[in-house]
Amino acid sequence: MSIILGVDPGFHITGYGILKKEASKISLIDYGCLTMSSTKSLSERTSIFYDFFEQKIQGNVITNVALETPFLGKNAQNFLKLGYLRGILYLLAYQNSCTLHEFAPRQVKQTVTGYGGASKDQVSRVVQQLFASAIKASTFDVTDALAVTLCGVWQQKSREA
């Protein structure tokens, strides 16, 4: 049995999803967003982030953490700040003996939709179809996190085969 936490980190909104893989069955355990106020200092937000994900990892007995590799884009400051959050997840994975998996954005899209150039909307639709009964209206932050979580689950499957 594996319990995988997938995270789409952001300093304002962080999406996350938790899936349990038992034999060939995949179950949705939890999903949602951590929202942090932009009026809080960087150190306050990193502390909130750490505390939130420490509780998620320990409370759900997480065995694997899945992250999307960062994309530089146009704002180097945002890229740098995302590195802080990623570092926290690396630390939490290590402290809790979790295996860490990273996936390139194109790889996540390819795995979930079958097309590496898929839009966020396309990824969201596939994720919502897979978990239709469990997921209520969700943001791209949540569906992106669940897509990364699925990559972690499916990677576990391929390693067990």
b/e code 65-91 from CB counts within 10 Å (16+ = b): bbbbebeeeeeeeeeebbeebbebbee
Active-site residue identified among 102, 141, 144, 160? 141
Determine which one of 8, 30, 44, 121 is catalytic. 8
Pairing type for strands 2-8 and 99-103 reads unpaired
Could you give the C-alpha distances from 52 to 75, 140, 148, in angstroms and in order? 26, 20, 19
Give the C-alpha separation, 7 to 79, whole Å.
16
Please pick, among 68, 102, 121, 160, the residue that the annotation labels catalytic: 68
**Is 44 known to be catalytic?**
no
Are the C-beta atoms of residues 147 and 128 closer than 8 Å to each other? Answer: no
- For the question of residue 144 being annotated catalytic, the response is no
Separation CA 106–CA 70 (nearest Å): 11
Q: How far apart are CA 149 and CA 134, in angstroms?
A: 15
8 in active site: yes
Catalytic residues: 8, 68, 141
